[in-house]
Structure 1
């Protein structure tokens, strides 16, 4: 993992990343919030509501994929700077998400000259407990 090389305070870096997320109309629609950002790591939270769920009450896989995609890319940006975009990712759904909040955490595995490899875990939070519901690995490209 390559650490962030910036003289900007971490709180300002998080504020800048939050502004990037807030500029994404779909992220606003989903209700996503960036809660951690720096040193090749990121955390994204989505408060879950009825409109995030399928007909049987579990969270739609597209919501989990959205969270994985965004948190992977934000973690890469925390390591190498903001000029990045998702080149691809895979996700494995481990158990249905049914809780009140989705938590996605990602960490850079390797930051190369062109590509950044990132791993993520997604948790379904219910009753103050986190349940692992998906894992993802992504490749993020530098512009």
Structure 2
């Protein structure tokens, strides 16, 4: 039996992300991918903020959804779909960069449960947890 993660790598993951028009619009990038985990980053420019200067919750949800799915892809293979996820915002997201770090908690043949920590990074490089997400990702190959 082969490990599906061997067919995937960071270069391919970046190509997949770049093929998503919305991800290009947001300016997302994958900085880590493999071994049941993925990290997605988004620079928090003004267009991604809400009226109080914090990152919009939709941006955090987007980052969680994509990071969860990419992490699951390392365990289930490239053809995956988010079945659902929940997100808990623990503090307003303010900083230079949003980082979504996802890791597979459990994977079977057809689905994976994945957890994601969303952190902001300030100008000094300090990280602050702003949200936590968990979701289920399904193999699209049935």
Unmatched runs of 5 consecutive residues or more in structure 1: none
Residue 132 of structure 1 corresponds to which residue in structure 2?
Answer: 129
TM-score (norm 2): 0.93
**Number of equivalences:** 138
2:40 aligned residue (40, 44, 48)? 44
Matched residue of 1:99: which SS?
coil
**How far does residue 6 in structure 1 lie from its aligned partner after superposition?**
5.1
Structure 2: which 5+ runs fail to align? none
What is the TM-score of this pair, normalised by structure 1?
0.92
- Alpha-carbon deviation of 1:7? 4.7
Please tell me whether the aligned partners of residues 123 and 130 of structure 1 are also in contact (alpha carbons under 8 angstroms).
yes
Q: What RMSD in Å do the two structures reach over aligned CA positions?
A: 1.5
> Moved runs in structure 1, 4+ residues, more than 4 A?
3-8
Q: Secondary structure at the match of 1:113?
A: coil
Contact 1:122 1:132 in 2 (8 A): yes
